[in-house]
Amino acid sequence: FIDEYVNVLNSPTGIISSLGEHNNVLALEGWGQTYNNFAFQTSGTFECWIRGTDVSEAIVFVFRYGASIGMQFEIDNNKIKYYYAGAYHDATGGGVSNDIWYHLRVDFECGDGEYKGLAPDTYDFYLNGTLLDSGIAFRVAKTSLNKLYILMSTDYGIFYYLDAIGYDWDTNYDVGDNINSHGSEVIDALENEGWDINVYPYCSIGINGEFNSHKKSLEFVDNSTTITSSMLNIFTST
């Protein structure tokens, strides 16, 4: 994912093996700037999971056309905020907390293609599948975007974590592919043993390395706000 990383004030970045039901997580610490380049896009969808150890500190997402800023939003002061009309504006219902995974989704349109019904140079913002705000203005109008720039401006020892970063224009990626943080391998294994498993969006299932002195326990996390996930095993009576 990272095409370039600018290390400021000895602020490291790297991949950690797992964190809270997520595997192979990108960890960002302190002051740093991360870039990802992609082919020019006039519209599309960006998704990721994000978690911070102190969400009162800022992490900024900037989508650019070359070196020029187009769309910009951030997490800071325990809130999601959008930058337009020369200032930051709080998202509707965009409060966030420390040490919790959140799923972000952004649909954007630069031109007149009306992607997802959007007007030129606007975007919709979703948190955990809920539309917070629609038709949010770009910071600066652009004909297309080709770079994601992530800026950390926190104290040393404060981390933000990113997982399952996806663009809908990538090959074999569809919007919503990363809604469930992980679990396909575990689901397949259990279904082979006769389990019937329904894991709905924003839920996950996995094997926990250790919990309360128990090894390799099954961890089933249900963060859905609309329906209950379930596991059912039917066995032959004797």
The DSSP letter of residue 156 is T
Residue 216 pLDDT > 80, yes or no? no
Three-class SS state of 179: coil
First vs last C-alpha separation in the chain: 53
pLDDT of res. 1: 44
- HSE (side-chain half, CA atoms, 13 Å) at 131: 8
Position 3 scores a pLDDT of 44
Tell me: the pLDDT tens digits for 100-110?
999 999 999 99
Class of domain 4-167: mainly beta
Residues 62-104: tens digit of each pLDDT: 999 988 999 999 999 999 999 999 999 999 999 999 999 999 9
What is the distance between the alpha carbons of residues 153 and 59, in angstroms, rounded to a whole number? 6
The reported pLDDT for the residue numbered 72 is 98
Instruction: Answer yes or no: is pLDDT of 5 > 80.
Output: no
- 130 vs 191, which has greater pLDDT? 130
User: Using CA atoms, how far apart are residues 201 and 224, in angstroms rounded to an integer?
Assistant: 6
CA distance 109 to 116: 8
Two structure tokens written together for 233: 């095993």
Q: Who wins on pLDDT, 129 or 123?
A: 123
**For the residues 181-201, what does the mean pLDDT come to?**
63
Helices (H), the chain: 184-192
Burial (CB count within 10 angstroms: exposed 0-12, middle 13-18, buried 19+), residue 160: buried
Q: Quick: pLDDT tens for 146-186.
A: 999 999 876 778 899 999 888 999 876 666 656 655 555 56
Span 125-147, pLDDT tens digits: 999 889 999 999 999 999 999 99
Each domain of the chain, given as residue ranges in start order, spans 4-167, 184-233
Q: How far is CA 220 from CA 25, 197, 203, 233, in A?
A: 19, 11, 8, 15
Q: Global pTM?
A: 0.75
Contact assessment for residue 147 and residue 35, using Cβ atoms and an 8 Å cutoff: yes
Average pLDDT over residues 50-73: 95
Q: pLDDT-based confidence at 10, cuts 50/70/90?
A: very low
